[in-house]
Amino acid sequence: MRRQRNAKIVATLGPASGTPEIIRRLVEAGADVFRLNFSHGTHEDHRKRYDIIRSVEEETGRPIGVLADLQGPKLRLGTFAEGRVQLATGDTFALDLKGGPGTRQRVSLPHPEIFQALAPGVQLLLDDGKVRLEVETSDGERAQTRVVVGGPLSDRKGVSVVGAVLPLSPLTPKDRVDLDYALELGVDWIALSFVQKPEDVEELRSIVRDRAGIMSKLEKPAAIEHLNAIVALSDAVMVARGDLGVEMAPEQVPPIQRRIVRACRQAGKPSIVATQMLESMIGVPTPTRAEVSDVASAIYHGADAVMLSAESASGQFPLEAVTMMNRIITVAENDHDYYRPMSDAARPAPGATIADVICAGIREATRLLPIAAVVTYTTSGSSSLRASRERPAASILSMATSRKIARRLTLGWGLHSVEAAAVASVDEMSIRACEAAIREGYAKTGDTIVVATGTPVGVSGTTNTLKILTA
């Protein structure tokens, strides 16, 4: 099942896409990784979908990645005496810890940790930014605010804090239970919501260790201030544009998205652009032209993957959404007058390491020679991701010595991931690489392929050999 594109598709599963038939068809249409959103559904729901994914994986013979997305802290107002109030711009409005029903003058905000971070000038965005408040005074238990943008406000609407780092762990008690369950299932990636600082990633790493890859969701402006440190500590990064667009001006999101994607490319970590990519396809079978351009822009900027959320989880046209995303990526990547120059311009300079020199050689070989395929033989996945970072002109057949690593690498740009048996020598590896390139449809007998590997054979992180072979 060879893909005719390099960027990957992450599809969220939900009520509209939880059957074996739909999941199988989503894989055939182009889904490479499936997201289990732990903000919705029960553990049993997620187990059923996970088991179906693994069954489809066996049927297709193609590794499929599974991403468990943790909910993270959800900050919400209390309730109102009449269920709803109307706030006018310029009004004063208080938030406090008193509890009880709210009025037009005040409402409970049952999160003491928020009050610790409030100071004059900090903005509070309510109901996805539809109502905006600015703090005038705060004493740790009560904040007096001025309504900057008025509007209706009802029970338990969400609260976002702009201009302050909240003293909150990104892992709630619910998240910790969900995390244990996801790791028990055997998911390949854990997505961490509400990342504000590098220590948040370290907290998750201390629990997950090497049992899954860690994907940091960048949805808080505070995280952008620590971008390089967070990328360095993560295995992948998601640009969660919906929440970013609430907490910062919408026009700031595109340059931030591009900055995150470039930082990930520099570090050799996969980047995923997410949220509202084909939003209109929740209810109609075709996207808007603006949405098509949005997905294409993410590809031009060098994203490793793009993601569907409600479009595939609860929308009416999950299959059409994946099919459309596959078509958009394919056309964008074949725009050689624009796509390849953009990719070349974003290429990071190789580091002064043997592995980087080898992978830079892969890129140069595919530029100068008619290379049918690049083959990486990997134990940890690092050599495949280094080759991916170079964006060579030929597809990369990633031969991983464990199914766990093969599944995790399904997220990487240009990587066709397969599980391969361990080998005892470089010569055996070369034979296996040629056989696999032909078997997987990347080369024909007599074609030239490039093989990157390391010696001693089977030792992680020893990429030091580049071979050019005839299949």
CATH code of the domain in which 284 resides: 3.20.20.60
* Cα distance between residue 44 and residue 250, in whole Å: 37
Question: Is 465's pLDDT higher than 90?
Answer: no
89 φ, ψ to 5°? -55, 130
Residues 360 and 452 in one domain: yes
Residues 243 and 383 in one domain: no
Residues 217 and 289 in one domain: yes
Residues 298 and 407 in one domain: no
**Looking at 109, 144, 162, which one is the last position of a domain?**
162
**Residues spanned by the domain of 459:** 354-470
| Residue (of 76, 71, 134) closest to 110 by Cα position | 76
Instruction: Confirm whether 37 is domain-assigned.
Output: yes
Instruction: Confirm whether 196 is domain-assigned.
Output: yes
Average pLDDT estimate for 50-59: 98
Q: Which of 217, 241, 265, 269 is catalytic?
A: 217
| CA 250 vs CA 181, 245, 276: distances in Å | 36, 5, 13
61 φ, ψ to 5°? 70, 20
Residue 23 CA to chain centroid, in angstroms?
Answer: 20
The CATH number of the domain where 372 resides is what? Answer: 3.40.1380.20
93 strand-pairing partners: 145
Residues 42 and 176 in one domain: yes
Please state the domain count of the chain: 3
| pLDDT tens-digit readout, 353-374 | 888 899 899 999 999 999 999 9
Tokens describing residue 313: 């989880």
| pLDDT tens-digit readout, 310-325 | 999 999 999 999 999 9
What's the confidence (pLDDT) of residue 54?
98
Instruction: Confirm whether 79 is domain-assigned.
Output: no
**Looking at 96, 127, 162, which one is the last position of a domain?**
162
For residue 208, what is the DSSP state? H
Confidence of residue 1 (pLDDT cuts 50, 70, 90): low
Show the CA angle centred on residue 57, arms to residues 52 and 60, nearest 5°.
125
% of the chain residues with pLDDT over 70: 99
Residues 204 and 281 in one domain: yes
Residues 180 and 201 in one domain: yes
The CATH number of the domain where 88 resides is what? Answer: 2.40.33.10
Instruction: Confirm whether 2 is domain-assigned.
Output: no
Is 172 catalytic? The answer is no
| pLDDT tens-digit readout, 213-270 | 999 999 999 999 999 999 999 999 999 998 888 888 889 999 999 999 999 999 999 9
Question: Is 285's pLDDT higher than 80?
Answer: yes
Tokens describing residue 87: 């706030």
What is the chain's length?
Answer: 471
Long-range contacts (CB closer than 8 Å, 24 or more residues apart) made by 386-389: 386/268, 386/355, 386/356, 386/358, 386/359, 386/463, 387/359, 387/362, 387/414, 387/452, 388/268, 388/270, 388/304, 388/412, 388/413, 388/414, 388/415, 389/265, 389/268, 389/348, 389/359
33 close to 410: Cβ distance less than 8 angstroms: yes
| Residue (of 162, 156, 134) closest to 222 by Cα position | 162
For residue 77, what is the DSSP state? -
| pLDDT tens-digit readout, 86-135 | 999 999 999 999 999 999 999 999 999 899 899 999 999 999 899 999 99
Is 132 catalytic? The answer is no
343 close to 332: Cβ distance less than 8 angstroms: no
13 strand-pairing partners: 36
| pLDDT tens-digit readout, 380-427 | 999 999 999 999 999 999 999 999 999 999 999 999 999 998 888 888
Question: Is 456's pLDDT higher than 80?
Answer: no
What's the confidence (pLDDT) of residue 351?
84
Question: Is 464's pLDDT higher than 90?
Answer: no
**Looking at 140, 162, 184, which one is the last position of a domain?**
162
3 close to 25: Cβ distance less than 8 angstroms: no
Instruction: Confirm whether 77 is domain-assigned.
Output: no
Instruction: Confirm whether 348 is domain-assigned.
Output: no
Residues 237 and 131 in one domain: no
Q: Which of 5, 8, 35, 389 is catalytic?
A: 35
Is 217 catalytic? The answer is yes
Residues 144 and 28 in one domain: no
What's the confidence (pLDDT) of residue 44?
98
Residue 178 CA to chain centroid, in angstroms?
Answer: 18
Q: Lowest mean pLDDT: which of 273-287, 321-335, 418-432?
A: 418-432
What is the maximum alpha-carbon separation in the chain? 79
What's the confidence (pLDDT) of residue 403?
96
Q: Which of 12, 145, 275, 379 is catalytic?
A: 275
What's the confidence (pLDDT) of residue 105?
96
Is 76 catalytic? The answer is yes
Consecutive H or E run containing 134: strand 131-138
* Cα distance between residue 264 and residue 128, in whole Å: 28
Instruction: Confirm whether 128 is domain-assigned.
Output: yes
Instruction: Confirm whether 227 is domain-assigned.
Output: yes
| pLDDT tens-digit readout, 181-198 | 999 999 999 999 999 999
Residues 300 and 182 in one domain: yes
295 close to 278: Cβ distance less than 8 angstroms: yes
| pLDDT tens-digit readout, 137-162 | 999 899 999 999 999 999 999 999 98
* Cα distance between residue 185 and residue 242, in whole Å: 28
> Residues 194, 199, 203, 208: what is their CA dihedral angle, to the nearest 10 degrees?
90
Q: Which of 25, 48, 74, 76 is catalytic?
A: 76
Residues 226 and 150 in one domain: no
What's the confidence (pLDDT) of residue 422?
85
Average pLDDT estimate for 196-219: 97
What's the confidence (pLDDT) of residue 344?
82
Residues 282 and 387 in one domain: no
SS3 of 419-436? ECCCCCCHHHHHHHHHHH
